[in-house]
Chain A
Amino acid sequence: MTLLFFYLMAATVLTGGLGVVLIRSTIYAALFLIMSLVGVAGIYILLSVEFLALVQILIYAGAVTVLLVFALMLTRVEDLKERFDGEQKPLGAIAALALLGAFIAMWSQTEWPRDVDQITVVPFATISDALFGRWAVPFEVASGVLLVSLVGAIIIAMREGEEA
C-alpha cells in the first residue's frame, strides 16, 4: 500500500518535471511545476516529515509559483516555437542521461546500511529545538539572506530615476 502511494507520488513528480521541461507553453509549464512540487510534498509525507510537506506546499507550490507566473506575465513574448528550446536540446538530453547514469553507478557501488526496516518519526518539537538551538546561527544568517535579497530585488526591479 505504501509502495503503491510512493509510485503514485513518484509518477506525479516525474510527470510534472517532464511537463516543465518539455511543454511548449510557459503557463502550462508553471502548472506542471505546481504538480511536481505537490508530488514532492507527498514524498515528504511518505518519509514522515510532515512539517516539510506543509512548508513545501505553502512556500513552493504557493508563493514561489505565483512569483514565477507573475514574472511570466510581465515578460510576455509571443509563444514562438524557436523561443522555447535552443539547438542545445540533443546535447542537453545526452548530458542529463549521462548524469543519471553516473548517479546510479555511484549508488550501486557505495556502501551504506541497506537493510533499514523501520524509520523513526522526527516530531515537530525536536526539529524546532534543533533549529533554534544547534542551528541558531545559520538560521539567523538565513533570515539576513532573505532580507538582503528582498531589498536587492526591489532595488533591481525599480524603474530608473524613480524614487523609492
Chain B
Amino acid sequence: VEVVSADVPLEHYLVLSGMLFAIGTYGVLARRNAVLIIMSVELMLNAVSINMVAFAVYTAPSLFTGIIFAIFIIAVAAAEVGLALAIVLRVFRNRGTANVDEINTLRW
C-alpha cells in the first residue's frame, strides 16, 4: 500500500467543512429564489462529503466507508437536482414566480 505523509491536520478539513456547511445554511435561510436555495443545498452536501472523506482517509483507510458515502452523495445529489429543478420549472409555469415567499398556497 502507498502511504503519504499527512501535512494537513484533520481538524483543518473539519473546520473547512463546518464553515462551508454554515455558509450553505445561511444561503438556504436567506435566499428567496428557489434555484439559489438549491445551489446552497449543493454547498451543504459538499461540506458533508469533505467531512466524510477526511474522516475516512485519516481514521479508517482500510474500510474507506466515507469515500463510498461521498460517491453515493454525488449520485443522490444529481437525482435531487434534476427532480427539484423540474418542480421549480412547473411552479414557475403555473404561478409565474420562482420566489419561495410567493408560493404560499399550503401555508396556514
User: A8 vs B8: C-alpha distance in the bound complex, in angstroms?
Assistant: 13
B4 touches A68 (CB 8 A): no
Chain B residues in 8 Å Cβ range of A18: 23
Kindly state the interface size class of chain A when it binds its partner: 35 or more
Q: Which residues of B contact A152 (CB under 8 A)?
A: 83, 86
Contact status B97-A91, CB under 8 Å: no
Helix, strand, loop or mixed for chain A's interface?
helix
Q: Is A75 a contact of B30 with CB atoms below 8 Å?
A: no
Interface residues of B in 65-102 (CB under 8 A from A): 67-68, 70-72, 74-83, 85-90, 92-93, 97-99, 101
Chain B contributes a number of interface residues (CB within 8 A of A) equal to 78
Interface string of B35-56 (1 = CB under 8 A from A): 1101110110010011001100
Most chain A CB neighbours (cut-off 10 Å) among B15, B20, B53: B20
How far apart sit A65 and B63, CA to CA, in the bound complex (Å)?
Answer: 31
Which residues of B have CB within 8 Å of A64? 42, 77-78, 81
Query: Which chain B residues border A164 with CB–CB below 8 Å?
Result: none
Q: Would A84 and B32 count as touching, CB distance under 8 A?
A: yes
